Chains A and B, each alone.
Chain A
Amino acid sequence: NAGVTQTPKFRVLKTGQSMTLLCAQDMNHEYMYWYRQDPGMGLRLIHYSVGEGTTAKGEVPDGYNVSRLKKQNFLLGLESAAPSQTSVYFCASSSRDRGLAEAFFGQGTRLTVV
């Protein structure tokens, strides 16, 4: 039972490079989320998706793009990385059923932009 899997776990990028973070969940959840975690700022929502083919902006979407082509996958892209995007990125998923409201998190991706 894998739950939510993020790849890669660590990455170092040079300023201006691009990359894609992959999130995969095997729980058939409708909702998926990307957060970034920075010291003293908690978790901030970047983008989220309420279903296959749909995405929406969160609190801090600038510099990121996302896609949800398949229900089980949610991709986060950085087109031109900046040092301000150095952070730990977490993906999460949850069910549409309000009685199963909890979110399940991946282990995180530590990204450093130099």
Chain B
Amino acid sequence: EVRLLESGGDLVQPGGSLRLSCAASGFTFSSYDMSWVRQAPGKGLEWVSILSGSGSSRIYYADSVKGRFTISRDNSKNTLYLQMNSLRAEDTAVYYCAKRIVGGGPDFDYWGQGTLVTVSS
């Protein structure tokens, strides 16, 4: 059974940093692209970033986080990360990690339950 479990969400002050983790199980982690998607309270989904299975290609970010967020993975630990720096109030959201099926599109077949990041003073 595929499982994705996010952690690391917290209350942080504007300008602060946070690292989210996503522990994966039930599939060959290194074979799949992984992505982060966020959802602000009461708002829609916003794609954040994607990273290839190898961790060395297909690294892309949404304009809203580029230069502040860094996606990475440790395939030996089956874990995906999102390092978030220079956090802003508008980064407040539930952050989901998602596994992408093989292909080229935004086809995320498994999602975690999400972890809440709140940026506030």
Q: Do A and B truly interact?
A: no
Chain A interface residues toward B at CB < 8 A: none
